[in-house]
Amino acid sequence: MNSALNVLIQETTIITQLRKVASVLNWDRETSMPVNSGKARADQIALILSLAHTRFTGKDFRKSLGNLINLDSGRIRNGDLSPDQAKMVSLTWQDWHRAIALPAEFVGQLANLTSEAHGIWQLAREKNRFDLFAPYLARIVEMKRREAEFLGYDDEPYDALLANYEPDITTADLVHLFDQLRPTLVSLARRIGDSEVDDHRHILKQHFDLQLQEAFGLQVLRDMGYDMSRGRQDQSAHPFTTNFHPSDVRITTRLSETQLAMGLFGSIHEGGHALYEQGMNEKYFGTPLCEAVSLGFHESQSRLWENYVARSLPFWEYYYPKLQGTFPRQLADFDLYTFYKAVNAVTPSNIRVEADEVTYNLHIMVRFDLERALMNGELQVQDLQEEWNRRMHEHLGIVPPDDTEGVLQDIHWSLGALGYFPTYTLGNLYGRQIFDVARSQIADFDNRLANGDLKTLREWLRQNIHHVGRAISAKNLIKSISDEALSARPFINYLETKYGEIYQL
């Protein structure tokens, strides 16, 4: 191999390993760490991440990278590189360019601010007082505006933040997609609200033994092709997926004795993320070719499994008899279609993470509009709570009873993660567009699901998406899969058809 490339890959691998080590430390914190060890652990994570950052932005790295690519223009210097290698160098340069755009002092200040703000946010939530958090959020917004200036953008500052998570999508793209989506969703939610169909959601709120729930979830995960010799599932307060290498991809779940859907769909959701990470091309570990193409694409994999597979009728044709066998007392009296309606029940609610497929994206749009207005200076933090409530009413027809269930509900802003929310809706859109193609390309697709064959889909996703890493950009990947650009149409068609039928609209 090209020796300059070799040196660069050695460096990116060390930086990647450091980040993975920080992920191990974080996994342990969320699943295993004793309650009084938090301070020491925070110091350890900060140290490892700062070593990674220092290496990535240091002189040696600049020199290794500069041997292969013009650091200003991003033009590859070396004609000997294969297309994959050139892509690897070019993506590394893009990441590097964003990393060095932020002065070290600024990065440190932002880290200190968000670390403090996160604690204040927790307190403000407990006390149900947005006014405690507001001054910190105002400072975060101000720093995020400076961040956008450092990073640069074409149209508006929000573009720069979005690119932290979804490099191929602009604010204008989002506005366009959301303009298609919004009226459909608002109308669909209203029509469902007016429907007199009983969705039988109460059958999911009986008492379900935790160990049986866990065993059932694990069986579905195995059937999906989640490799337990290269992964594991634990409990944590907030479910997440993490990876330390394609050979060690872990998920967590949260089980409730009185809410069957939470643990089951949570496990499948995280399982979808985990299949993406387990399916990466290991030989490129330590380079961008062994990384997810974007957060929206990552979310597409979790939503695809959670909603398009596991909230479908064929899926439950196979699994519902098994679930009834596991919980006969609770479920024997209800037929398949009743259960199918229950897991697809739609109601406007104040809490995003509890929202159904139809209303979920309205929560995201509320947040996107607010974030964008804050970044553009059209909205002040002091007016955020009022504006939140107004928009919730406009989109969902309800108003949160307090700040904890309203403007304070999400962790993201306290961490400075403005620009993140849209990736959830992008996940739904990418996911449905991908699912429709998979369904058309895999022979006998619905029958396969109805017979418990989940692995054919897993294999299709692995070949078409997981194994690709960042070798193809999100924009090109969705085009190469579906022959068209990302669109809200497949998702809208899916919702209209599915919920039209369930609620007899």
User: What residues are annotated to the active site?
Assistant: 270
26-34, 158-166, 185-193, 485-493 -> range binding a copy of itself (CB under 8 A): 26-34
Judge contact between 296 and 430, C-beta under 8 A. Answer: yes
Q: How far is CA 125 from CA 130, 142, 181, in A?
A: 8, 22, 31
Strands 248-253 and 231-235: parallel
CB closer to a copy of itself, 20 vs 144 = 20
Residues 284-343 contacting a copy of itself, CB under 8 A: 285
Q: Is 245 in the site for a copy of itself (CB under 8 A)?
A: yes
CB closer to a copy of itself, 49 vs 398 = 49
* Of positions 28, 149, 386, 501, contacts a copy of itself by CB under 8 A: 28
Q: Is 384 in the site for a copy of itself (CB under 8 A)?
A: no
CB closer to a copy of itself, 3 vs 36 = 36
- What does the block give as tokens for 378? 């059209």
Sheet holding 241-245, edge to edge: 231-235, 248-253, 241-245
Q: At what angle do helices 171-194 and 384-396 cross, to 10 degrees?
A: 50
Count of residues in contact with a copy of itself, rule CB under 8 A: 34
Q: Is 479 in the site for a copy of itself (CB under 8 A)?
A: no
CB closer to a copy of itself, 248 vs 383 = 248
Q: Is 365 in the site for a copy of itself (CB under 8 A)?
A: no
CA–CA dist 379, 422 (Å, integer): 19
SS3 229: helix
Q: Is 3 in the site for a copy of itself (CB under 8 A)?
A: no
Residues in the chain: 505
**Minimal distance, residue 43 CB to a copy of itself, in Å:** 7
Q: How far is CA 78 from CA 22, 89, 90, 93, in A?
A: 34, 10, 12, 14
Judge contact between 397 and 193, C-beta under 8 A. Answer: yes
**Minimal distance, residue 282 CB to a copy of itself, in Å:** 9
Q: Given CA atoms 475, 478, 481, 482 in this order, what sign does their dihedral have?
A: negative
H or E element, residue 69: none
Q: Is 470 in the site for a copy of itself (CB under 8 A)?
A: no
Phi then psi for residue 340, to 5 deg, are -60, -40
Q: Is 107 in the site for a copy of itself (CB under 8 A)?
A: no
**Minimal distance, residue 4 CB to a copy of itself, in Å:** 22
44-52, 135-143, 173-181, 434-442 -> range binding a copy of itself (CB under 8 A): 44-52
* Of positions 1, 43, 103, 376, contacts a copy of itself by CB under 8 A: 43
Judge contact between 126 and 105, C-beta under 8 A. Answer: no
| Chain residues in the site for a copy of itself (CB under 8 A) | 14, 17-18, 20-21, 24-25, 28, 32-37, 39-41, 43-44, 47-48, 51, 227-232, 244-245, 247-248, 250, 285
